């Protein structure tokens, strides 16, 4: 007799497959293609971060290669618009199931601490979407004003760093609370 899989786990499985598939496509197909076309690493893939001067270099390289500009724009319009939503929803679903009641530093995770945990994936998505929108407004075929270009070249590296930070914290929270959880057992205060 087979057990029926709950809709919750079907959605979680779909979100895991979507997230892993999109990350693999971006990392194994789009990032190397970008490098082949420009000789540079895609700013989004620079885990150690980058500076405003790097943004200027990428913009110059994209002006020289319309094919690379189309690839980079396509990344921000399709996979990098879907991935943050899929990963954030997946994180929130798993955190909602496993985070309440776990013990952190010998205290149950509840109240404002629990809300902070739930806020981290949402902050990740907000930073990733801000980065994507700025990239679409900054890099060719877009042609921002010199003032807007200067402003965005300073902000874009910060958005990427914040995105990476919130992504990895979210991932750590999901792994910690779903795989390595210790449930809080209320103390029995009944004394005779």
**Is 172 among the domain residues?**
yes
Residues of the domain holding 174: 7-179
Nearest alpha-carbon partner for 128 in 96, 95, 90, 156: 156
The pLDDT score that the predictor gives to residue 104 is 82
**Which pLDDT tens digit goes with each residue over 4-49?**
899 999 999 999 999 999 999 999 999 999 999 999 999 988 878 8
**Is 184 among the domain residues?**
no
Cβ contact 157:51 at 8 Å: yes
**Is 108 among the domain residues?**
yes
**Is 137 among the domain residues?**
yes
**Is 64 among the domain residues?**
yes
**Is 191 among the domain residues?**
no
**Contacts of residue 149, Cβ cutoff 8 Å, sequence gap at least 6:** 59, 138
**Which pLDDT tens digit goes with each residue over 115-136?**
999 999 999 999 999 999 999 9
**Is 73 among the domain residues?**
yes
**Is 74 among the domain residues?**
yes
Share of the chain above pLDDT 90, in %: 79
**Contacts of residue 178, Cβ cutoff 8 Å, sequence gap at least 6:** 94, 97, 98
Residue 184: pLDDT band (50, 70, 90) is low
2's enclosing H/E stretch is none
Provide the domain count of the chain. 1
The pLDDT score that the predictor gives to residue 192 is 46
Q: 């945990």: which residue's tokens?
A: 117
């Amino acid at each position: 007799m087979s057990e029926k899989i709950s809709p919750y786990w079907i959605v979680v499985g779909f979100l895991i497959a979507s997230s892993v598939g999109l990350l693999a496509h971006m990392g194994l197909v789009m990032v190397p293609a970008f490098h082949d076309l420009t000789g540079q690493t895609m700013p989004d893939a620079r885990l150690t971060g980058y500076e405003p001067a790097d943004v200027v270099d990428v913009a110059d390289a994209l002006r020289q290669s319309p094919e690379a500009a189309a690839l980079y724009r396509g990344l921000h319009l399709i996979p990098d618009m879907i991935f943050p939503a899929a990963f954030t929803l997946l994180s929130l679903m798993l955190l909602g199931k496993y985070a309440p009641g776990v013990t952190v530093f010998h205290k149950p995770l509840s109240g404002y601490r629990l809300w902070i945990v739930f806020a981290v994936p949402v902050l990740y998505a907000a930073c990733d979407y801000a980065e994507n929108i700025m990239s679409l407004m900054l890099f060719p075929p877009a042609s921002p004003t010199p003032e807007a270009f200067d402003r965005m070249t300073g902000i874009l590296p910060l958005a990427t760093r914040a995105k990476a930070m919130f992504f990895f914290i979210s991932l750590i929270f999901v792994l910690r609370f779903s795989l390595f959880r210790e449930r809080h057992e209320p103390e029995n205060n009944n004394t005779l």
